[in-house]
Amino acid sequence: MAVRQEEFVLNMGPQHPSTHGVFRIVLTLDGETVVKADPVPGYLHRGIEKLAEARTYTQVIPYTDRLDYLASMLMNWGYVQAVEKLMGIEVPLRAEYIRVIVGELARIASHLVATGAMASDLGGLTGFLYTFRDREEILDLFEMVCGSRLTASYMRIGGVAKDLPEGFVPKAKEFLKKFTLSLAEYNGLITGNEIFQRRTKNVGILSAEKAVDMSLSGPVLRASGVGHDLRKVRPYSIYPQFEFEVPLRTNGDCFDRYYLRVLEMAESVKIIEQALASLPEGPVMAKIPRIIKPPAGEVYTEIESSKGIMGVYIVSDGSPKPYRVHFRRPSFINLGYLAEMVRGWKVADVVAILGSLDIVLGEVDC
Amino acid sequence: MDDISNVSKITEPVQKRILAKIAAAHPEINVSEAGHLHVPVDSLTAVMRDLKENFGFDYLSNVTAVDYLEYMNVVYDLCRVGTPYMLHIIVRIDRENPVVPSMVPLWGGALWQEREIYDLLGVIFTKHPDLRRILLDDTWEDHPLRRDYQWMSGRD
Amino acid sequence: MLENIFVSSLNWLKNLMAAVELPAPLADMLILVIKLAAILGFILINALWLVYMERKVSAFIQGRIGPNRVGPFGLLQTTMDVLKLISKEIIIPAAADKKLFLLAPLMIFVPPLAIFAIVPFGKGMAAIDLNLGVYYFVAMASLSTVIIWMAGWSSNNKYALLGGMRVVAQMVSYEMPLILSMIGVIILTGTLNMNGIIQAQEKVWFIFLQPVAATIYLIAALAETNRTPFDLVEGESEIISGPFTEYSGMGFAFFFLAEYANVLLVSVMATTLFFGGWLAPFGWTFLPSWFWFIFKVYIMVFIFMWVRWTFPRIRVDQLMGFAWKVLVPLAIANIFLTGLGKYLFLS
């Protein structure tokens, strides 16, 4: 008797515990093995680029919070930097320092979510709560700085909204001291776990050539051994003043992508410590015109956000509203190779691979 | 601020040299004052292939398009991995017949970005392997990022 | 006094029945019904309590507080949860196989209940003192596979189907090492009777004589109860809730509570086989035997919870490979060595 076999289609998402939001992926399965995958983004598309065309330059800042809402400071930064370049504004030194401090804190917060979510995607919920415990303190620091925990809207064209409040610096230093211990704790609970390593090592391997070809960026690219971190290769702001390493891993598997983030957090701690130690006095806003009217022209700038290269393209027609704003969202482009990456792996690996890419749907769908 | 200007002191002349070299190799390219490369659409594929293979611009960072009502621009940003050098390439196309060759054969990274542009601005990329809508619903009509698109607004 | 509280109250009941001159078969039947009702009550109360305990233990491990609103220390939380679930509408998906879908949650309590009938909770405190105790346990425990597969198949949901496939594969593979690990103990005791096994541990617990078997048993037991790191059947981050995806209200509550009944069950077996059952450690007989039994069971349950909230989940192919390539050969080697040892030293 011949057994009739057929593949079946599993519609994973848009409501699923580990698609990190409203992401959908249509899997064609042979048993538990993925034969074909078709990612379907767009469930969170709000048309931010279109909305920006009807707002003034300053009014666009809150929309950038809603791109990568796990690192809203970095999204603010990417946008204001583009407008500043378009207008040729020089940002005061203190403001640059503050931007680096809050930006790197946001990077840690975002990597903490990625680290914890990776653990919970693999079934270890405790790791998730451990990382969120520490992320909470970063959000408290953000609340001190700008009154908002998640959607900061802290940066302004020409500087930052206001100076650091009293007590911020000691509290941040205290956090950093504790956080170094927490990193060791994550390594004990998650990184060193035998099952975790079995689940992630040699899973979803991404070669360096393919990563460059597919325009992947951030930890995903660097885990494949490509040292492309804009903070080093095309330094912006005051990053050349700080001593830090760009961690690299060479295997390009899920474990490397995960562990690279842990290493990056340690580097961010170093940067923040240096910035806090040498924080200069001075104004936090440049002299900017009351109505921001950049000269007609276009500009494209990039920063290194927690997920990868965050690019902002602005076209100005000389009016107070941007003619066209485009965001190069790292999560969106990193996701472009997912269909190929998950082919041939099991359903459980799809979750691991997606978790190791670390996407935020606000950013993917824009 | 000194460090950053030191860095740009080194990189800027190199960037200028690269631009000059490209302009010499491709007379059809018009280099603007801001250092943007204006490439005619007919020679786009050839220029891009040359940039990738001979000039080492192996990383397609960004692709997007702008609607100027009379015409449209497709914008490419290329860079070399591990170096600060970037190229900003602008291609002017006809708005009524917005067709550009797809960059997917050269850079896989164009795969989703070109789908997004097709979705939101209606630019058709020839030889794209999978040109479907990506963010909007498959049944959506029109392309919302075009400047003349009318939408129902809750405010202003 | 405390030691015999249950046994003597039952004797008192028997005497009462004899005094009112109830016919003997009727009296026996009544006694049995009372015993089984007591066991059912024991399981249900324990399941409720274990849910609460799990939430408190996980909260402790994760640096949280856990339930603390309903009743003192949140003790009534799970009771209220179950009351809420009872009051909810039972939703049957349109495409589901209605009969099987409703039958599965009703059946899920049958195997644990049937097994608890033979468990010796203390000295002379087994509802039925079965000679083939261990054999009966193995036979009954494997029935849950069918019931969970019933739930997975009848839901007509793809996640449920995947979960159903996993449950069959997993349970069948892990029953092998589970049974093989028990054989070592049985070789030593020469009996399948659970009371007999406990009494054989009078001098030394079998965990010291059979450490390999005990380890294999604990791992396989984790897999049998579908708990992390072997919770592939439910695997929340992969297949939502597996076979239980479509269940709501009471159906869900039954599966949920049955999971804890099963945890209790494998802990009971571990205690019986390897930790001396109701025997008091260090001769501390000032506490009654049933206290020691429950105490040991709860330590086992705590270990299961501890593991669950520490480890991530293993993958399907690794799960099967681990069972067949590591656990089964180890268990067989253990049986061989045990047999050899017994032959050399005891004959």
Q: What is the ipTM of this complex?
A: 0.90
Q: What is the pLDDT of residues C120-168, one digit of tens each?
A: 887 777 777 788 888 888 888 888 888 888 888 888 888 888 888 888 8
CA-to-CA distance for C221 and C231, rounded, in angstroms? 12
- Residue B82, sorted as left (phi over 0), alpha (psi -120 to 50) or beta, turns out to be left
Residue C236: pLDDT over 80: no
Type of residue numbered A13? G
Asked if residue C22 is part of any domain, the answer here is no
Range 146-205 of A in CB contact (< 8 A) with B = none
H or E element, residue C136: helix C133-141
User: A313: which chain B residues are within 8 Å (Cβ-Cβ)?
Assistant: 62, 64, 75, 77
Asked if residue C288 is part of any domain, the answer here is yes
Asked if residue C144 is part of any domain, the answer here is yes
A195 lies within 8 A of chain C by CB: yes
CA atoms within 13 A on the CB side of C333: 9
Three-state secondary structure of A30-75: ECCEEEEEEEECCCCCCCHHHHHHCCCCHHHHHHHHCCCHHHHHHH
B145 lies within 8 A of chain A by CB: yes
Using pLDDT thresholds of 50, 70 and 90, give the confidence band for residue C302.
Answer: very high
Using CB atoms, list chains with 3+ pairs below 8 Å to chain A. B, C
CA-to-CA distance for C180 and B71, rounded, in angstroms? 77
Check CB contact under 8 Å for B77 and A311.
Answer: yes
User: A347: which chain C residues are within 8 Å (Cβ-Cβ)?
Assistant: 162, 238-239
CA atoms within 13 A on the CB side of B98: 24
Taking residue C38's Cβ as centre, other Cβ atoms within 10 Å add up to: 14
Taking alpha carbons only, the member of A109, A108, A131 closest to residue A118 is: A131
Q: What is the pLDDT of residues A142-188, one digit of tens each?
A: 999 998 999 989 999 988 998 999 889 999 999 999 999 999 999 98
DSSP line for C263-281: HHHHHHHHHHHHS-TTPPG
The tokens of C106 are what?
Answer: 């009703």
CA-to-CA distance for A4 and A16, rounded, in angstroms? 30
Q: What is the pLDDT of residues A24-49, one digit of tens each?
A: 899 998 888 899 999 998 888 888 99
Q: What is the pLDDT of residues C157-183, one digit of tens each?
A: 888 888 888 888 888 888 889 889 888
CA C243 to chain centre: 19
In this complex, which of A215, A228, A302 lies closest to B109 when CB atoms are compared?
A: A215
* pLDDT value of position C171: 85
CA-to-CA distance for C102 and A48, rounded, in angstroms? 48
A134 lies within 8 A of chain C by CB: no
Check CB contact under 8 Å for B108 and A326.
Answer: no
Taking residue C244's Cβ as centre, other Cβ atoms within 10 Å add up to: 26
CA-to-CA distance for A11 and A33, rounded, in angstroms? 14
Asked if residue C276 is part of any domain, the answer here is yes
Closest CA–CA distance from residue A132 to any residue of chain B (Å)? 30
Asked if residue C4 is part of any domain, the answer here is no
Give the dihedral of Cα atoms A353, A354, A357, A363; nearest 10 deg.
Answer: 170
- Residue C135 lies in domain: 47-346
Helix, strand, coil fractions of chain C, as percent rounded to 5: 70, 0, 30
Taking residue C167's Cβ as centre, other Cβ atoms within 10 Å add up to: 24
Q: What is the pLDDT of residues C254-280, one digit of tens each?
A: 888 888 888 888 898 888 888 888 888
Asked if residue C33 is part of any domain, the answer here is no
User: A333: which chain B residues are within 8 Å (Cβ-Cβ)?
Assistant: 109, 112-113
Tell me which DSSP letter residue C64 carries.
-
Q: What is the pLDDT of residues A245-273, one digit of tens each?
A: 899 998 889 999 999 999 999 999 999 99
Asked if residue C284 is part of any domain, the answer here is yes
The answer to whether the CB of C258 falls within 8 A of the CB of C244 is: no
Tell me which DSSP letter residue C336 carries.
H
Please identify which residue in the block is written with the tokens 């960037």: B15
**Does the bond joining C177 to the residue before it have cis omega, within 30 degrees of 0?**
no
Summarize the confidence of residues A352-357 as an average pLDDT. 90
Residue A139: pLDDT over 90: yes
Please identify which residue in the block is written with the tokens 């090592």: A201
Contacts with A354 (C-beta within 8 Å, 6 or more apart), sequence order: A18, A19, A20, A23, A25, A121, A338, A342
Q: What is the residue-averaged pLDDT of chain A?
A: 90
CA-to-CA distance for C218 and C227, rounded, in angstroms? 12
Closest CA–CA distance from residue B26 to any residue of chain A (Å)? 23
CA-to-CA distance for A145 and A164, rounded, in angstroms? 6
Q: What is the residue-averaged pLDDT of chain C?
A: 85
> Tens-of-pLDDT digits for all 156 residues of chain B?
445 566 677 788 888 888 888 888 888 888 888 888 899 988 889 889 988 888 888 899 999 999 998 999 999 999 988 888 888 999 999 988 999 999 998 898 899 999 999 999 989 999 888 888 888 888 888 888 888 887 776 665
CA-to-CA distance for C50 and C268, rounded, in angstroms? 14
CA A263 to chain centre: 15
Domain count, chain C: 1
Residue C3: pLDDT over 80: no
**Does the bond joining C312 to the residue before it have cis omega, within 30 degrees of 0?**
no
Number of H helices, E strands in chain B: 3, 7
Taking alpha carbons only, the member of C222, C243, C240 closest to residue C231 is: C222
In this complex, which of C63, C229, C239 lies closest to A347 when CB atoms are compared?
A: C239
The answer to whether the CB of B123 falls within 8 A of the CB of B129 is: no
Strands A324-328 and B30-31, bridge-based pairing: unpaired
Asked if residue C19 is part of any domain, the answer here is no
Contacts with A142 (C-beta within 8 Å, 6 or more apart), sequence order: A73, A102, A105, A106, A148, A149, A150, A152, A154
Q: What is the pLDDT of residues A270-303, one digit of tens each?
A: 999 999 999 898 899 988 888 888 988 899 999 9
Tell me which DSSP letter residue A188 carries.
I
A138 lies within 8 A of chain C by CB: no
